[in-house]
Structure 1
Amino acid sequence: IGYTNGRVISTRDAREGDYVVVIGKIGGEGTGVIAWDFGDKLLGKVPRDVIEHARSFIYDVSIVKTALAIKDYVNTMHDATEGGILQALREVASASGKDIVVLEKAFYIDEEVKRITSAVNVDPLRLLSSGCIVATVTPGYLDSLLNELKKHGIRHSVVGRVTRGEGRVIIKGDSGETITIIDSDIVDEIYKLWNK
C-alpha cells in the first residue's frame, strides 16, 4: 500500500525503561458515539450542551498530524481504537514482549468524557479511542517530546514505564499496589450499551 524512505516506527519497539505517554482524548470517539446513539438515555443525567459538544468528538479521530509531530522522539507509536487505551497499551506490551506498568490516576480524562461514561456506566479507559496514541519514549527524549506536544497544544499524560516482562499491562494504585493485570484482549465497553 505504500513505501517509506525513512525510519519505520512500529508497535513492537517499546524498550525497557521507556516512558509511556498517552496522547489525545481518551475515550473521545466512544463518548461521541454514545452522545449520538444514546443521547435520549443521557438526558436528565447529563446537560444537553455537554451531549451536543460530545457529539463533535467523533470528527476528531485522525492521528496523522500528531504522529508526524512526534515521530522524531518516540520508539513506538500505536493508535488506540477498539478496546480503548488499555487495549492499545496491551497491544504495545504484547508486540514488544515487555510489561507496561501504569498508574491508574495518571490518565487525563476530559470532563465531558467522565460525565457521559459515568452516566451510562462504562469505563473510558476501555472505550473506543481513535484519535489517541500510545507512545513510548526513552528518558533522554521525554522532555523534547513533551515540549513538542505543548507547542502544538496537544493533550497528553505520562502514564507509566516499560519494564521487563511478558506482554502484560499492570495498573497500579497510589500506594504502588497492583489493582489490575491485563494479560488478554479487552472487549470494548461500547458493546455493553447495545447488549442492554
Structure 2
Amino acid sequence: MNDRAPSPIEEPGVPPRVGRVRDASVNLAHGSGGRAMRDLIEDVFVPAFDNPTLAALEDQAVFGLADLAAHGDRLAFTTDSYVVDPLFFPGGDIGTLAVSGTVNDLAVCGATPLYLSCAVVIEEGLAVDLLRRVAASMQRIAREAGVAIVTGDTKVVERGCADKLFINTAGIGVVRSGVAIAARNARAGDVVIVNGYLGDHGAAILVARQQLALEADIESDCGPLNGLIAAMLDACPRIHCLRDATRGGVATVLNEFAQSSNVTIRLREAALPLREQVQGACEILGLDPLYLANEGKLVAVVPADAAERVLAVMRAHPAGREAAAIGTVEPGDAGGLVVMQTVFGGERIVDMLVGEQLPRIC
C-alpha cells in the first residue's frame, strides 16, 4: 500500500495510528504519495488487514522459500481485477469478491492459497466509511480462507474517471505434490460435478440493480472454496479438471474443458441444481442460468470410480451441501462439444457464451 519510504521525521517502528483520516470522503491528496496517502493506508487498510508483513509498509512482501516449500512442490500465482456494479449486493460486496475470487483461482489448480496483494483505484469523492467497510469484508474473507493480505497499492483518480472503486488482487499459493489438474485432462467416462445451486451471483446482481422485482431474496454465493477443494483432493488426488464458474458460468467452463480435452460433455438438465427464484428470473428475462456468473461454485471432472466419494465429502462441507453430478464425459471429436439432454427428452448444443448477459458482475 506504500508508494514511498517513510519521511525522516517519522519514527521507524511506531505502530500506525487509527483516526488519522478526518475527511469524510477520499480526495486527490489521498493518492499523492504524501502524508495524506500514508494516513489513509495506516488508518483504513493496515488495521483491517492486520499482519506483521503488511505493517512493515515496505514496497514488497518477503517470504522464506522453506516456508512455501512446506506446502507443496510448485508455486501458483494469479491476479484478477474487480469492477462490480453495485459495490454492495445481497450476500457480498466488491471486497468479498476480490478475496474470494483470487483464493478460488489458486485453489482450483490444487494450490493452498497463502498470500494476497490488494491494489485499489479509488474515485475522488468515495466515502471513507465505505472504504472501511470494503476493507473489513476483505479481511473477514481472508481470515475465513486462511490467507494474509500482505502488500498493495493505492491510487486516487479524479471524479468521473472511475466508477467509485476498482480492486485488483493477486495471489500466491503452493500446489500440493502429486496433483495435476488441467482443462486438458478430461477423459471418457469421467463424471461432471458442481458444488451447489447455479447462477445465484448473477441473479443477486440483477436484483441489486433493481432490474427485476422479486418477492424472494436471492443472495450471491460469493465465498472462498479452498477448504472444500482441499477436502475433495484428500478424497481424490486424481481430480482431472477443476475450475470456478465465474463470468460465462458453468457453460463456458465446460466448453473450455471439452475443447481442451477434445471430448463431448453430456449434461442432464434435470440434474442441474437451480433455485426456483433464479430459474424464474431467467425465464422472465430470457436468460440461461448456465451462463450466469457464480462466485462460490466450482465445476469438477473426476474419474467415475471416485465420483461418489468426492460427492460425499463435498456434501459434508458447508460450501458443498447441494453438490450434484450433472453429466458425464464421452469420446468426442470436432474440437470438443457440450450437449444438454433436456427434460423433454431432446438434446441441444450448449455453446460458449458470446458477448455478455449481464455487465459488470465481478
Q: TM-score, normalised by structure 2?
A: 0.46
Distance (Å, rounded) in 2 between the aligned partners of 1:100 and 1:150 = 23
Task: State the Cα distance separating 1:114 from its structure 2 match.
Answer: 1.9
| AA at the equivalent of 2:328 | R
Distance (Å, rounded) in 2 between the aligned partners of 1:129 and 1:148 = 21
Task: State the Cα distance separating 1:185 from its structure 2 match.
Answer: 4.5
Number of aligned residue pairs:
182
1:90-169 alignment, distance < 5 Å: 90-153=255-318, 154=320, 155-165=322-332, 166-169=335-338
Task: State the Cα distance separating 1:5 from its structure 2 match.
Answer: 4.6
| AA at the equivalent of 2:220 | F
Task: State the Cα distance separating 1:174 from its structure 2 match.
Answer: 4.3
**Gapped regions of structure 2 (runs ≥ 5):** 1-76, 78-171
Question: Counterpart of 1:9?
Answer: 181
Distance (Å, rounded) in 2 between the aligned partners of 1:187 and 1:160 = 25
**Gapped regions of structure 1 (runs ≥ 5):** none
1:20-59 alignment, distance < 5 Å: 20-37=192-209, 39=210, 41-43=211-213, 46-47=214-215, 50=216, 53-54=217-218, 56-57=219-220
Task: State the Cα distance separating 1:119 from its structure 2 match.
Answer: 3.7
User: CA RMSD, aligned part only?
Assistant: 2.4
Task: State the Cα distance separating 1:141 from its structure 2 match.
Answer: 0.6
Give 3-state SS (helix, strand or coil) of 2:228's partner. Answer: helix
Residues 76 and 190 from structure 1, CA distance in 2 versus in 1: closer, same or farther, beyond 3 angstroms? same
Give 3-state SS (helix, strand or coil) of 1:71's partner. Answer: helix
Deviation string, structure 1 residues 103-154 (Cα, Å, up to 9, x no partner) = 1222110123223333433211111123211111112111111110121141
Shift >6 Å, 4+ stretches: none
Question: Counterpart of 2:347?
Answer: 178
Contact between 2:194 and 2:298, CA under 8 Å: does it hold in 1? yes
Q: Which has the greater radius of gyration?
A: 2
Contact between 2:196 and 2:273, CA under 8 Å: does it hold in 1? no
| AA at the equivalent of 2:190 | D
Q: Larger deviation: 64-73 or 155-164?
A: 64-73
| AA at the equivalent of 1:145 | V
Distance (Å, rounded) in 2 between the aligned partners of 1:185 and 1:115 = 20
Q: TM-score, normalised by structure 1?
A: 0.81
Residues 28 and 14 from structure 1, CA distance in 2 versus in 1: closer, same or farther, beyond 3 angstroms? same
Task: State the Cα distance separating 1:75 from its structure 2 match.
Answer: 1.8
